[in-house]
Structure 1
Amino acid sequence: MAGKKVQNAQEANRLLLVKFGGTSMGSPTAQQQAAKIISDQAQLWDNVVVVISAMSGVTNSLIACADAALQRREDQYSTIITELQTRHFEAIHALAPQEMQADLCAEIDSQLATLKAFCDSIQVMGEVTARGMDAISCLGERMNARIFSACLQQAGLHSQPVDATELIVTDDNFQNARPLLDETCQKVKGLLPPLLEDGIVPVVTGFIAATAQGIPTTLGRGGSDYSASLLAECLDASEVWNCTDVDGVMTADPSIVPDARVIPQLAYDEMSEMAYFGAKVLHPKTIQPIVAKNIPMRVMNTFNPEHPGTRITQHSSALRGKLTCVTGIKNLSLFTIEGRGMLGVPGIAARTFGAVATQGASVLMISQSSSEQSIAFVVPSDMERKVQASLQHDLSVELERADINGIQIQSDVVIITVIGSGMRKTPGISARVFNAVAKEKINVIAIAQGSSEYSISLVVTSQDAKLAIQEIHREVIINGN
Structure 2
Amino acid sequence: MTTQPDSQHTVEKIGGTSMADTESVLNNIFIGKRTGSDLYQRIFVVSAYAGITDKLLRHKKTGEPGVHALFADAESDWAWGDALSKVGADMTRINAEIFGDHADRRTADQFVKERIEGARSCLLDLHRLCSYGHFSLSEHMNTVREMLSALGEAHSAHNTSLLLQQHHVNAIFVDLTNWREDEQVSLDEKISGALAEIDLAATLPIVTGYGHSKDGAIMNYGRGYTEVIFSRVAVLTGAREAIIHKEFHLSSGDPKLIGEDKVRKIGRTNYDVADQLSNMGMEAIHPSAAKGLRQARIPLRIKNTFDPENPGTVISGNYTSEDSRTEMVTGIKSVYALEFFEQDMVRVNGYDSAILEALKHHRLRIITKTSNANTIAHYIEGPLKSVKRATVELGERFESATITVRKVAIVSAIGSDLEVEGLTARAVNCLAAAGVNLLGVHQLIRNVDILFIVAEDDYETAIVALHEELVENTEPVAVDDEQRTTRAA
TM range (shorter): 0.7 to 0.9
Find the counterpart in structure 2 of residue 458 from structure 1.
Answer: 452
1:86 to 86, 92, 98: 92
Find the counterpart in structure 2 of residue 324 from structure 1.
Answer: 327
Letter in 2 for 1:385: K
Check if 1:333 corresponds to 2:336.
yes
Letter in 2 for 1:473: H
Give, in angstroms, the shift of residue 293 of structure 1. 2.4
The size of the alignment, in residue pairs, is 449
Q: Using a 3 Å threshold, how does the CA distance of structure 1 residues 465 and 67 change in structure 2: closer, same or farther?
A: same
Q: For the Cα contact (< 8 Å) 1:118–1:136, is it kept in 2?
A: no
SS at match of 1:396: helix
SS at match of 1:285: helix
Alpha-carbon distance in structure 1 between the residues aligned to 2:350 and 2:83: 50
Q: For the Cα contact (< 8 Å) 1:437–1:471, is it kept in 2?
A: yes
Find the counterpart in structure 2 of residue 420 from structure 1.
Answer: 415
SS at match of 2:413: strand
SS at match of 1:211: coil
Cα deviation 1:254-274 (Å, max 9, x = unaligned): 221112221111122112212
Give, in angstroms, the shift of residue 148 of structure 1. 0.5
Q: Using a 3 Å threshold, how does the CA distance of structure 1 residues 227 and 90 change in structure 2: closer, same or farther?
A: same
Check if 1:437 corresponds to 2:431.
yes
1:77 to 60, 79, 83: 83
Cα deviation 1:358-416 (Å, max 9, x = unaligned): 223221110112xx21111111131x4334434543553532xx3x2x110003x2221
Give, in angstroms, the shift of residue 137 of structure 1. 2.4
Cα deviation 1:18-38 (Å, max 9, x = unaligned): 110011210432443356448
Q: For the Cα contact (< 8 Å) 1:135–1:217, is it kept in 2?
A: no
Check if 1:152 corresponds to 2:156.
no
Gaps of 5+ in 2: 58-65, 132-136, 476-489
Letter in 2 for 1:396: E
Alpha-carbon distance in structure 1 between the residues aligned to 2:217 and 2:377: 39
Letter in 1 for 2:406: Q
Q: For the Cα contact (< 8 Å) 1:252–1:326, is it kept in 2?
A: yes
Cα deviation 1:208-241 (Å, max 9, x = unaligned): 43216x8986732243222211211111100111
Q: For the Cα contact (< 8 Å) 1:2–1:47, is it kept in 2?
A: no
1:274 to 274, 277, 280: 277
Find the counterpart in structure 2 of residue 304 from structure 1.
Answer: 307
Check if 1:233 corresponds to 2:203.
no
Q: Using a 3 Å threshold, how does the CA distance of structure 1 residues 303 and 122 change in structure 2: closer, same or farther?
A: farther
Alpha-carbon distance in structure 2 between the residues aligned to 1:50 and 1:420: 30
Letter in 1 for 2:54: N
Q: For the Cα contact (< 8 Å) 1:55–1:144, is it kept in 2?
A: yes
Alpha-carbon distance in structure 1 between the residues aligned to 2:89 and 2:221: 26
Check if 1:114 corresponds to 2:118.
yes
Q: For the Cα contact (< 8 Å) 1:2–1:46, is it kept in 2?
A: no
Normalising by structure 1, we get a TM-score of 0.83
Check if 1:196 corresponds to 2:199.
yes
Normalising by structure 2, we get a TM-score of 0.82
Q: For the Cα contact (< 8 Å) 1:31–1:151, is it kept in 2?
A: no
Give, in angstroms, the shift of residue 453 of structure 1. 2.4
Alpha-carbon distance in structure 2 between the residues aligned to 1:185 and 1:121: 30
Q: CA RMSD in A?
A: 3.2
Cα deviation 1:50-78 (Å, max 9, x = unaligned): 00000111111223234455453638526
Q: Using a 3 Å threshold, how does the CA distance of structure 1 residues 317 and 165 change in structure 2: closer, same or farther?
A: same
Cα deviation 1:268-289 (Å, max 9, x = unaligned): 2112212222224433433211
Q: Using a 3 Å threshold, how does the CA distance of structure 1 residues 393 and 57 change in structure 2: closer, same or farther?
A: closer
Find the counterpart in structure 1 of residue 478 from structure 2.
Answer: none
- Match runs of 1:202-281 below 5 Å: 202-211=205-214, 219-246=221-248, 248-258=249-259, 259-281=262-284
Cα deviation 1:322-355 (Å, max 9, x = unaligned): 1100111223211001132111221111211122
Alpha-carbon distance in structure 1 between the residues aligned to 2:84 and 2:228: 32
Give, in angstroms, the shift of residue 462 of structure 1. 2.0
SS at match of 2:44: strand
Q: For the Cα contact (< 8 Å) 2:67–2:83, is it kept in 1?
A: yes
Q: Using a 3 Å threshold, how does the CA distance of structure 1 residues 373 and 275 change in structure 2: closer, same or farther?
A: same
Find the counterpart in structure 2 of residue 142 from structure 1.
Answer: 154
Q: For the Cα contact (< 8 Å) 2:88–2:112, is it kept in 1?
A: no
Q: For the Cα contact (< 8 Å) 2:365–2:380, is it kept in 1?
A: yes
Letter in 2 for 1:389: R
Alpha-carbon distance in structure 1 between the residues aligned to 2:391 and 2:19: 44
Give, in angstroms, the shift of residue 102 of structure 1. 2.9
Alpha-carbon distance in structure 2 between the residues aligned to 1:160 and 1:283: 26
SS at match of 1:61: helix
Check if 1:393 corresponds to 2:393.
yes
Q: For the Cα contact (< 8 Å) 2:56–2:84, is it kept in 1?
A: no
Give, in angstroms, the shift of residue 82 of structure 1. 5.0
Alpha-carbon distance in structure 2 between the residues aligned to 1:93 and 1:14: 32
Q: Using a 3 Å threshold, how does the CA distance of structure 1 residues 447 and 208 change in structure 2: closer, same or farther?
A: farther
Check if 1:14 corresponds to 2:8.
yes
